[in-house]
Structure 1
């Protein structure tokens, strides 16, 4: 007979509420400062990071501004970035010109931007897992008419969505010609294959349908 797991006490719940979600302030600052120091490092993380991966709101604003400037082919050094934020009424929310200057001043090199970006992404995934776990627990307490199978299916979809997003940091950029060649080859295999599951079945039908095993 398995021991009964006790419900968390109010003290435990209060302590849990005070826990700071996973993040790395230093990595976020190093990435933003590194990008301003060397705009060419943008190509190393453009497809690996999203503004939502940043924990702090001001850092999200700064990263979004960098992306916008990059998309228009403009530089994003201290002055141009501050000007863009000012023109869009976001400079103060992003910490002001002084904070942008601190990011540049305290970043010694842009050499490790990609590695710091991976740290940011890893922390973001952990925050997503915490969020999903909380939602799953809340659903178990209050299923709102869903049976256990539906609750499990919803939890599975949420976890798989995080896993798919996590692949972004692992894959990075792919050569376009190689990507197109693999895509065409994949389509040809699926077209001539009677069974849509061409890989190894995982046992989760929804996931197998999306990934072909």
Structure 2
């Protein structure tokens, strides 16, 4: 093993301070893999070629993986032709080095331990790299100083290191998956209302989708004026309020139907968003709050609502122009610090992509990157993510203005990445836009008839909304009828007689 020791010494010489490494363990593992190719199955899921400190060892490991993947034997004889021209192997005695690696058959016994140590040391080197980059960036003042951006970048890099050190992926047996399914069904039974996830605050919607499920991306979309932001905010508030109630009732966090929530509000300020919530709870309109045109009793109601909700686990980030990478870094931080269980993004078209593409890249590709990033965030943090989305103007060109999946603006992969797509539609909005002339005495009978017909239609839809479930990976699609109080931007379940008939597809 003299050559192995020489590799270790030469590899560590250029560095002013030796990085964490164990070249002997790398050599022992490679020897074990060449002696018994079946060991490859045990280590390849976790260990990559770049985890090896010595580049030559990384190339040998990669060659072993390629050969075993092709169902070929990987040993010193079959690997020799691949390394005859390798300059690094010439420094340690040529291709005969491969045979020397297999000199100790005892290494087979400790192969898994060697692999784990190599992996752990690689993580430590990655951590050192993040630290060095952070120090160098903080010391470099030659460009515009942006410490917050550097912190976010460091958090992202640290999370990647932590993520790489997570548990290995594994296949679940049918029995294990069945147990998880039974636990979900039991949770739904105990919570009532068909809830297997966290509540939306709307009984009808909960019954359709079982609540908001972990790792799901839920898109709430609609044309301007439909109330899509209000709906997403209503659901977020209900989730946070239910968490407080469950805590007061002594329900364990893992069994709670609510959760702390984070709203990334790229359109409205935190103050505007909170004003909406307080308006809904105090029954004082946002206009009255903004203008101060309210009575002492109304102000007392508003202040009381603010006091009651002061400790609500409802966190708002209203930083404009966030990139998808920055949003993910901030969401991870809130998950770690506040234990959030739901993320709301309002709205996803205001997010920016990574900016790595060329200037010619179109907006559709950027939106695809953003929707894919939100879905990845939902899976990484194991929580539902609600993305508010705009719809294209194609809706306005049709006689029936109910949205369709094809109306998702710059859709790219939004429809593909989403687990659930909800469209908000209020016929009242369009009827008001086409309100006919109020008849006066002396007008033709046609004017009276047109206004009476419009008035009859308006009375049927006034204060109501349709929630169209256009996509649902967990069940059927259809429609839910909701009440909408425009003065307080509040959605709620309608009275029973106002419910739409069952429409499942």
Q: TM-score, normalised by structure 2?
A: 0.34
Matches within 5 A, 1:85-164: 85-86=83-84, 89-90=85-86, 92-94=87-89, 95=92, 96-142=94-140, 144-164=143-163
Structure 1 equivalent of residue 292 of structure 2: none
The answer to whether structure 1 residue 77 and structure 2 residue 96 are counterparts is no
Q: 1:52 to 1:200 in 2, by over 3 A?
A: farther
In the TM superposition, residue 161 of structure 1 has moved relative to its aligned partner by 0.6
Structure 1 equivalent of residue 427 of structure 2: none
Counterpart pick for 1:27 among 25, 28, 51: 25
Counterpart pick for 1:206 among 331, 348, 371: 331
Task: Output the aligned Cα RMSD.
Answer: 3.6
CA distance in structure 1 between the partners assigned to 2:145 and 2:170 by the alignment? 41
For CA contacts below 8 A with separation 6 or more, give which structure has more relative contact order: 1
Structure 1, 201-210 or 131-140: larger mean CA deviation:
201-210
Equivalent pairs counted in the alignment come to: 191
CA distance in structure 1 between the partners assigned to 2:259 and 2:72 by the alignment? 44
CA distance in structure 1 between the partners assigned to 2:260 and 2:71 by the alignment? 43
Helix, strand or coil: the match of 2:17? coil
CA distance in structure 2 between the partners assigned to 1:53 and 1:192 by the alignment? 33
In the TM superposition, residue 19 of structure 1 has moved relative to its aligned partner by 1.1
CA distance in structure 2 between the partners assigned to 1:145 and 1:71 by the alignment? 49
Higher helix share: 1
Contact map agreement 2:83 2:95 (CA 8 A) in 1: no
Counterpart pick for 2:213 among 181, 185, 189: 189
In the TM superposition, residue 107 of structure 1 has moved relative to its aligned partner by 4.4
Q: 1:148 to 1:29 in 2, by over 3 A?
A: same
Q: 1:199 to 1:62 in 2, by over 3 A?
A: farther
Higher strand share: 2
Contact map agreement 1:30 1:107 (CA 8 A) in 2: no
In the TM superposition, residue 93 of structure 1 has moved relative to its aligned partner by 3.0
Structure 1 equivalent of residue 481 of structure 2: none
Structure 2 equivalent of residue 174 of structure 1: 170
Structure 2 equivalent of residue 58 of structure 1: 56
Q: 1:69 to 1:212 in 2, by over 3 A?
A: same
Structure 1 equivalent of residue 501 of structure 2: none
In the TM superposition, residue 108 of structure 1 has moved relative to its aligned partner by 2.2
For structure 1, the residue ranges without an aligned partner over 5 or more in a row are 1-16
Structure 1, 195-204 or 97-106: larger mean CA deviation:
195-204
